[in-house]
């Protein structure tokens, strides 16, 4: 199973990969060639993370999760 972590940050990716079980192939945005900048239009951290995950899923068809911080 493939899962996208909405990040270009290789260190974040390594940290999360160490927590994910082997049957899951965790991919970065670079690995799925997603370069588009997603405008953060929501008013909360959670809202912006959900916006990113939905946008990436719509473009790739691969389940995705995102984090967001200020």
Catalytic machinery residues: 68
All residues at 6 or more sequence positions from 17 whose CB lies less than 8 Å from its CB, including other chains: 26
Write the DSSP symbol of residue 48.
H
Q: Quote the tokens at residue 21.
A: 């079980």
């Amino acid at each position: 199973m493939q899962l996208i972590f909405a990040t270009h940050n290789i260190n974040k990716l390594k940290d999360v990969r160490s927590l994910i079980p082997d049957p899951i192939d965790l991919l970065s945005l670079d690995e799925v060639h997603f370069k588009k900048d997603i405008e953060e239009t929501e008013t909360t951290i959670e809202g912006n993370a959900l916006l990113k995950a939905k946008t990436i899923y719509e473009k790739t068809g691969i389940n995705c999760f995102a984090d967001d911080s200020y």
